[in-house]
Amino acid sequence: MLTPAQIRARGQHLHTALDHVIEQRGWSMPKRRAHQWRTLKSLVQHAFDHIPLYKRLFKDSDFIPEMLDDWDDLPKIPILTKQDLRTATENDLIASNNRDDIRWLASSGSTGIPAKIARTESSLWHYMASNTALFYDWCQGAPLGNGLYLVDMAPDSIDFAAADLLRTTVPDSRIFSVHDPVAKLTRELLSIVPEFISSYPSTLRAIALELKAQNRVIQKTHLIHLTSEMLDAHTRQLLGYIFPNARLIETYTSTEGGLVAFQCPHDARWHIAETNVICEIVDESGQPTDELGHIVITDLTNTATPIIRYRGLGDLARWDPTPCPCGSSLRSIRQIEGRAAAMLRARSGTLISPYLITNAIEEVPGLAQYQVVQKQPGMLEVRVVAETNAPRQRIEKGVKHALESALANDADLQVTFVSKIAAPAGSHKVALVISELPLAA
């Protein structure tokens, strides 16, 4: 429980950060670009002068900050990988003369490789303020007060840090760990009957399955915020059934990049949070592409461990260059088309998007839960949890027919029925599609 003095001090931090975020939201596109370039140059110079990891990385690539004359020079900065962060020591990741208040955070390892970074307290307050401003947008300026927050409470997660800051405005009684048993989370949700829920798709999906088994439908929930994981159409359909009056809104966040993008309330696209990050989409050689490519980010808010041209999020996307109906001048991506770590490989060698898999399976009746795993090219194992009394033979036939059609018979399929599909140890995330094939950094 926070003391009144602590709440007052935190409120001042949040108020200052909100003022900054609100000011930035009013910037024109030229002013945003100037801010991005100025901050990028400052970060690169800081990393070159003070961060051992970047001193080595830049030296190995024969890069010096003076090479940056304009935006066309951005690809000259070497790509930072998850492996670079993973193998670095804490002393490699921060300046020896660092005087900022920092928190050490670890990524969730959703790409299979967790990594540690340091974040300044000011960057975390900026992250909190950015999400708060979005929440006000979603609520048309009249925020819903009856909320439920399902959070990864691992002490080194960014969500735990954000939850700690969230206690400035939200009582502890509304914040729960996603590692709690699903039955407990379901009971809490039924007790609170929240108007607003913030969660991960896999956590809320598990609760929705429990509610469906109890023949419960929650009419009073009007807004659901989902983040950190891919929201598949099957889960979207389930949540729509259990929460029929709720609007689903997604954000794209990460430990390394904070708030990267957010779903437009008026369109299916995602707007890049351009005052928070520089976002690139690059091909395998690190060059810009208008086709499907790797998301590369530079975090403009954190100086403790600078994140400069980072490809470690592992996500694939493509730009949407068309004007948005909402009138925003922020750059947009149509959708995040999957993680590189979830991209599968057909018998012919062709890459298979995880969305192709999930969209094909979603209409198969009788599925309570599923997970597709690839251990060798051209072979997919589909793990299935069947709904009560659903005929397994019919489910297996439906899954095989759906995937054979989607994949043009370019993969062998094995359907395995299991009683439960759990998250890996130390994680709350239940991946829908997993590739165990070797992946380049």
* DSSP code per residue over 238-249: HHHHHSTTPEEE
Distance CA 151, CA 40 (A): 31
Distance CA 328, CA 179 (A): 37
Cα angle value 239/218/211 (rounded, 5°): 65
Residue 53 neighbours by CB under 8 Å, 6+ apart: 84, 85, 88, 92, 93
DSSP one-letter string for 115-146: -EEEEEHHHHHHHHHHHHHHHHHHTTTS---S
Give residue 340's pLDDT: 55
CA-nearest of 27, 306, 254, 315 to 127 is 254
CA-nearest of 300, 283, 383 to 340 is 283
Distance CA 352, CA 375 (A): 14
Is the pLDDT assigned to residue 13 strictly greater than 90? Answer: no
pLDDT-derived band at 439 (thresholds 50, 70, 90) equals: low
pLDDT-derived band at 195 (thresholds 50, 70, 90) equals: very high
Letter for the amino acid at 397? K
Give residue 426's pLDDT: 56
Residue 284 neighbours by CB under 8 Å, 6+ apart: 294
CA–CA distances in Å: residue 192 to residues 393, 422, 423: 40, 26, 26
197: its two tokens: 């829920």
46-50, 128-132, 163-167: the lowest-pLDDT one: 163-167
Is the pLDDT assigned to residue 355 strictly greater than 70? Answer: no
Give residue 290's pLDDT: 92
Q: For the segment 68-97, what is each residue's pLDDT rounded down to a tens digit?
A: 999 999 999 999 998 899 889 999 999 998
Residue 222 neighbours by CB under 8 Å, 6+ apart: 144, 195, 196, 245, 246, 247
Q: For the segment 48-63, what is each residue's pLDDT rounded down to a tens digit?
A: 999 999 999 999 999 9
Distance CA 27, CA 274 (A): 11
Give residue 441's pLDDT: 35
Count CB atoms within 10 A of the CB of residue 70.
7
Distance CA 53, CA 84 (A): 8
Is the pLDDT assigned to residue 338 strictly greater than 70? Answer: no
Strand 332-339 and strand 315-319: pairing? antiparallel
Q: Which residue has the higher pLDDT, 366 or 189?
A: 189
Is the pLDDT assigned to residue 7 strictly greater than 80? Answer: no
pLDDT-derived band at 366 (thresholds 50, 70, 90) equals: confident
153-167, 294-308, 329-343: the lowest-pLDDT one: 329-343
263: its two tokens: 């779903």
Residue with tokens 């009856």: 146
Q: Which residue has the higher pLDDT, 202 or 291?
A: 291
Average pLDDT (348-366) is: 77
Give residue 354's pLDDT: 73
Residue 303 neighbours by CB under 8 Å, 6+ apart: 43, 46, 100, 120, 123
Q: For the segment 408-421, what is each residue's pLDDT rounded down to a tens digit?
A: 888 999 999 998 88
Distance CA 400, CA 364 (A): 10
For residues 412 and 418, the answer to whether their CB atoms sit within 8 Å is no
Give residue 47's pLDDT: 98
Phi, psi (rounded to 5 degrees) for 126: -65, -40
Q: For the segment 400-410, what is each residue's pLDDT rounded down to a tens digit?
A: 999 998 888 88
Give residue 440's pLDDT: 41
For the entire predicted model, the pTM comes to 0.80
Q: Which residue has the higher pLDDT, 372 or 153?
A: 372
Distance CA 110, CA 82 (A): 11
**Given 3.50.50.60, 3.30.230.10, 3.40.50.1820, 3.30.300.30, which CATH number is that of 343-435?**
3.30.300.30
Give residue 307's pLDDT: 98
Give residue 431's pLDDT: 75
Is the pLDDT assigned to residue 300 strictly greater than 60? Answer: yes
Radius of gyration of the chain (CA): 22
pLDDT-derived band at 220 (thresholds 50, 70, 90) equals: very high
Phi, psi (rounded to 5 degrees) for 79: -70, 135
Average pLDDT (3-21) is: 83
Beta strands in 53-184 (DSSP E): 102-106, 116-120, 147-151, 175-177
Is the pLDDT assigned to residue 301 strictly greater than 70? Answer: yes
Q: What does pLDDT average to over the chain?
A: 88
Domain boundaries, the chain: 343-435
pLDDT-derived band at 112 (thresholds 50, 70, 90) equals: very low
Q: Which residue has the higher pLDDT, 228 or 440?
A: 228
Give residue 229's pLDDT: 77
For residues 113 and 255, the answer to whether their CB atoms sit within 8 Å is no
For residues 117 and 255, the answer to whether their CB atoms sit within 8 Å is yes
Average pLDDT (178-200) is: 93
CA-nearest of 293, 258, 254, 259 to 75 is 293
Give residue 160's pLDDT: 85
Residue 112 Ramachandran class (φ > 0 left, ψ -120 to 50 alpha, else beta): left
Q: Percent of the chain beyond pLDDT 70? A: 93
Distance CA 341, CA 354 (A): 10
Q: Which residue has the higher pLDDT, 336 or 219?
A: 219
Give residue 279's pLDDT: 97
Q: For the segment 252-274, what is each residue's pLDDT rounded down to a tens digit?
A: 999 999 999 999 988 889 999 99
Give residue 190's pLDDT: 97
